[in-house]
Amino acid sequence: MKFTDYNLNPKVEKGLKLLGFNRPTDIQYKSIPNILNGEDLLAVAQTGTGKTGAFGVPIVDLIYENKLRERRKTGVKCLVLAPTRELALQISNVINAISKYTTVKSLAVIGGVDQDPQIKTLNERVDIVIATPGRMFDLISQGHLIIHRVEILVLDEADYMLDLGFIKDIQDLIRKLPKRRQTLFFSATINEQIKKTAYSIVKQNAIRIQISPKDPVAKTIDHSVIHMEMDHKRYFLERVVRENPDKKILVFVRTKVRAERVVAAMARVDIKSTSIHGDKTQEERSQIIQQYRQGDIQILIATDITARGIDIPDIEIVINYDLPDIAENYVHRVGRTGRAKHKGWAYSFCAEHEKETLITIQTFLTREIKEIKINKDNYQDTLKIERDRKLDYQSLVDEIESFDHQKRKKKKKK
């Protein structure tokens, strides 16, 4: 099937060609007709399967067709909520591309930047607002964002948005929206409690559920775990980088401080990397993402700020330097690679104190993650990053043993 089979407006189809969208992915194929028919939807699909297009395409088409029929400007018709600024900006870019040849106007409303340009654009009338919750509520309370004419509400990364940290805000928002509206939920992961919450928000018996395969990790991702001491993680990261000089690598750590420490550790061995986390300004974060997307940055050390929804197609290796505290975030992290049917690899470094976390993740996945054992008698079986050639890990072990020796010497001096 092709997008031309949906009988979309020709100007919307022209925008899809600009994006290189020819055939819908599975989630797009199943979602678009239901959205065009005005039905509420809970869509659960693996990362990298085109969820933004699944709601962006039909929403732009619906709004544009309505605008062609209406004579007066009616304000914001669609509100899309996303948990992070980066994801909101990414969704905005996709919707802008889809609507490029139409009169549909969209705006990303996010914190961390001056609100005055956003207010100015809102006053000029926009049809679709893509927002993070904090800035959205600020602009609603100030009277700049009028939502009483919203016809479609979208929650992207719905499991996170409906979690305890956001649910009160979402409930407050629902009370401000028209009762007659279309509600769409999209996520890569969802549990029974979140599903129950979603059902309470939509029209009774009107929700369509699209279920992803039992394994939430895409088949295009080869993911495994390596057990090691905490102090040895830097050596293994260095080895992965040196064995893959031309590959784009995304490294996840637990905290902002940890991110800076890993950047510093890599710098000490002459490996250049960049960090991204919540302490960076929004301007810095946007610039870093753009440089990483363009290939100006090869190694990005990140907190979970980039775990959800960020679509950078050519990330080949994801490394969980620290295991995520939340099991669902494992799926979102490794899902940054292996996107759009490309092959990707993900490696998790597991220290002794992280073993319980690993078990929790494996329980969530309903299967054990493949283990790569560090076998001192057979180094070629250790951490096979490049499948086409054998690697010599003797030097890595020598480095580790040297590090341990120096550490013991320091303890004796004390």
**Whose CA is closest to 367, among 375, 379, 359?**
359
Quick check: 49 and 26 in contact, CB under 8 A? yes
113 close to 283: Cβ distance less than 8 angstroms: yes
Residue 403 has pLDDT above 80, yes or no: no
The structural architecture, per CATH, of the domain 3-210 is: 3-Layer(aba) Sandwich (3.40)
Among 160-174, 314-328, 356-370, 390-404, the range scoring the smallest mean pLDDT is 390-404
Q: What residue ranges do the domains of the chain occupy? A: 3-210, 221-409
pLDDT tens per residue across span 58-103? 999 999 999 888 766 678 999 999 988 889 999 999 999 999 999 9
Q: Where are the beta strands (DSSP E) in 141-256?
A: 152-156, 182-187, 207-210, 221-227, 248-252
CB 186 within 8 A of CB 54: yes
Q: Where are the beta strands (DSSP E) in 181-320?
A: 182-187, 207-210, 221-227, 248-252, 274-276, 299-302, 315-320
Identify the CA nearest to 5 among candidates 57, 50, 59: 57
pLDDT tier at 259, thresholds 50, 70, 90: very high
Is 377's pLDDT higher than 70? no
Q: What is the pLDDT of residue 9?
A: 95
Give dist(CA 309, CA 332) in Å, integer. Answer: 8
Q: Tokens representing 306?
A: 């980039």
Same fold, 3-210 and 221-409: yes
- Residues 51 and 137: their CA atoms lie apart, in Å, by 25
Question: Residue 271 has what DSSP assignment?
Answer: -
Q: What letter does residue 128 receive in the DSSP assignment?
A: E
pTM: 0.77
With 70 as the cut, is the pLDDT of residue 268 above it? yes
CATH H-level, domain 221-409: superfamily: P-loop containing nucleotide triphosphate hydrolases (3.40.50.300)
The string of pLDDT tens digits covering residues 288-331 is 999 999 999 999 999 988 877 677 878 999 999 999 998 889 99
